[in-house]
């Protein structure tokens, strides 16, 4: 490809990069994916949201994922010893069948190493060229525009020119670090400690088979995610200040036993991996596009694994970036307008998701439910809550999300213009709007 200008170079082969590359390749665009690791590789983030099933269907990938035999997830169990966060219930189950008609009520629990390989294989099948163990060493600049990359592969240096470079490098943040754009989300300076267990027997599960469990306590929260019939992932998340002065083993042992329903589910299991630690992983960038480049997924923002939304927002932004680039390649004069709209779309979804996380750590989710309850019945309120927990981050018509967005103290990004419109169920989002207008509650 020496001397050839590609349409797009994608830095990173995770779900966001894979979906972006596959979408562009299916539109006949020339795409190269540069992945610095060799797949399959370990990655955190095993639990999918129900809106993921809808997204995969829109992208034509649902059948490929269903064929993998992943654990089916039909709900999420939230354990709150205070009994205040979710309708005054000590245990609240987000039942995905309560989202309303037309939305998928099942999704998946996955091992990310396997899932990410499946997604990258789809990009390859679509016609994108995938290069593993390709370390991007430099961004090629022509004036202020990124026009390509230099990378190292098999001990040799290579250069690719492209009309656009998509940064899907996740936490590595190739473009963010090159231009000094990344900022920590100080309200979420957290540490996660986690490991996998074998010997899972769901007969010990006091809840529903296949559900994720999230248990809160005064110093953080604990997750339990079944990865297969006999394997489960368990992790604890706590503020860095709580973690300081102790060890991962001590924090994990002390915090995990605070949630008896998870301890009960682990009956008869045995550790199958060493402890893994992720620290200070919450960040964002105010600039997610620039001349010749766009960020997708974790390269531009990462909030917290609490509600398992990371893969969904990553893949949604990957798909949206592909659409934006395809339009800009067809209409170069519209590039600035298109990329500005994409940036606002990116921020709208991530901003809503981070607000949901922050509300759970404090008492503001209770306030948001109360505000929404002023105009919404209890059954409808639960429907909107399950939707929001399931990935409804871009709708303008979810009253709980609206209440959360009203809190200016939680602004993640510098001021931007929200771009609403559900990317997963746009027709149903329009229907919600028409019903609200008919009821005289929104114009």
Helix (H, G, I), strand (E, B) or coil at 443: coil
Cβ atoms 261, 79 nearer than 8 A: yes
Cβ-in-10-Å burial (0-12, 13-18, 19+) of 219 comes to middle
The confidence score (pLDDT) of residue 186 equals 80
CATH number, domain 73-106+190-279, options 1.10.3210.10, 3.30.160.60, 3.30.9.100, 3.90.550.10? 3.30.9.100
- What Å distances lie between residue 274 and 210, 248, 271, 438, CA to CA? 23, 11, 8, 56
Same topology, domains 5-68+110-184+283-344 and 73-106+190-279? Answer is: no
Walk along the chain (443 residues) in steps of 10 and give the mean pLDDT of each run.
Answer: 81 98 98 94 88 97 96 95 77 95 96 95 97 98 98 97 98 96 87 96 97 94 95 94 91 96 98 90 94 97 86 98 98 98 98 92 72 76 94 95 91 96 96 81 53
Handedness of CA 266, 269, 275, 276 (dihedral sign): negative
According to DSSP, the β-strands at 156-167 and 182-184 are unpaired
Distance CA 7, CA 25 (A): 10
Could you tell me the pTM of the whole model? 0.94
State both tokens at 210.
């296949």
SS3 of residue 233 by DSSP = strand
Note the helical H segments in 217-300: 240-243, 248-256, 260-265
- Determine the pLDDT at residue 443: 44
H/E element, 300: none
What's the residue count for the chain? Answer: 443
CA distances from 135 to 118, 154, 169, 301, 308 (A): 22, 10, 11, 22, 28
Nearest to 32 by CA among 151, 142, 113: 151
Count other Cβ atoms within 10 Å, centred on residue 272: 13
Find out whether 78 and 262 touch, Cβ atoms under 8 Å: no
Domain boundaries, the chain: 5-68+110-184+283-344, 73-106+190-279, 363-438
Instruction: Compute the distance between CA of residue 391 and CA of residue 374 in angstroms, rounded to an integer.
Output: 23
| Distance, CA of 255 to CA of 247 (rounded, Å) | 12
pLDDT of res. 363: 65
Residues 6+ apart with CB under 8 A from 252: 193, 194, 195, 236, 275
Map residue 58 onto helix, strand or coil. Answer: helix
- For 419-433, the pLDDT digits (tens) are 999 999 999 999 988
In the CATH hierarchy, which fold is given to the domain comprising 5-68+110-184+283-344? FAD/NAD(P)-binding domain (3.50.50)
């Amino acid at each position: 490809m020496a001397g050839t200008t590609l349409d797009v170079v994608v830095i990173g082969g995770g779900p966001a990069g894979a979906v972006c590359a596959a979408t562009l390749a299916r539109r006949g665009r020339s795409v190269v994916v540069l992945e610095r690791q060799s797949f399959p590789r370990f990655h955190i983030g095993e639990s999918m949201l129900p809106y993921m099933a809808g997204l995969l269907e829109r992208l034509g990938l649902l059948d490929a994922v269903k064929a993998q035999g992943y654990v089916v997830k039909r709900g999420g169990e939230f354990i709150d010893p205070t009994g205040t966060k979710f309708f005054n219930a000590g245990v609240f189950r987000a039942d995905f069948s309560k989202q309303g008609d037309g939305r998928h009520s099942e999704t998946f629990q996955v091992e990310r190493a396997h899932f990410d390989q499946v997604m990258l294989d789809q990009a390859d099948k679509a016609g994108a060229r995938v290069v593993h163990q390709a370390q991007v060493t430099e961004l090629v600049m022509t004036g202020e525009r990124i026009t390509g990359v230099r990378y190292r592969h098999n001990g040799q240096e290579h250069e690719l020119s492209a009309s656009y470079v998509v940064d899907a490098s996740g936490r590595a943040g190739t473009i963010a670090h090159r231009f000094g754009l990344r900022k920590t989300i100080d309200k979420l300076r957290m540490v996660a400690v986690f490991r996998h267990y074998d010997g899972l027997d769901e007969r010990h599960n006091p809840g529903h088979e296949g559900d994720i469990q999230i248990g809160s306590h005064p110093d953080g929260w604990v997750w339990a995610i079944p990865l297969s019939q006999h394997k489960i992932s368990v992790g604890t998340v706590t503020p860095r200040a709580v973690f300081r002065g102790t060890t991962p083993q001590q924090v994990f042992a002390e915090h995990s036993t605070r949630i008896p329903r998870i301890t009960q589910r682990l009956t008869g299991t045995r550790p199958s991996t060493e402890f893994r630690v992720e620290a200070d992983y919450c960040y964002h960038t105010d600039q997610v596009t620039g001349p010749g480049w766009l960020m997708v997924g974790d390269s531009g923002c990462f909030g917290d694994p609490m509600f398992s939304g990371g893969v969904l927002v990553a893949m949604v932004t990957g798909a949206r970036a592909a659409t934006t680039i395809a339009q800009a390649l067809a209409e170069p004069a519209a590039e600035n307008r298109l990329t500005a709209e994409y940036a606002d779309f990116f921020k709208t979804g991530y901003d809503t998701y981070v607000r949901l996380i922050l509300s759970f750590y404090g008492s503001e989710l209770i306030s948001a439910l109360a505000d929404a309850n002023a105009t919404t019945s209890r059954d409808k309120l639960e429907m909107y809550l399950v939707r929001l927990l399931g990935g409804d981050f871009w709708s303008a018509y979810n009253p709980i999300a609206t209440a959360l967005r009203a809190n200016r103290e939680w602004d993640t990004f510098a001021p931007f213009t929200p771009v609403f419109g559900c990317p997963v169920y746009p027709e149903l989002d329009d229907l919600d709007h028409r019903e609200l207008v008919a009821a005289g509650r929104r114009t």
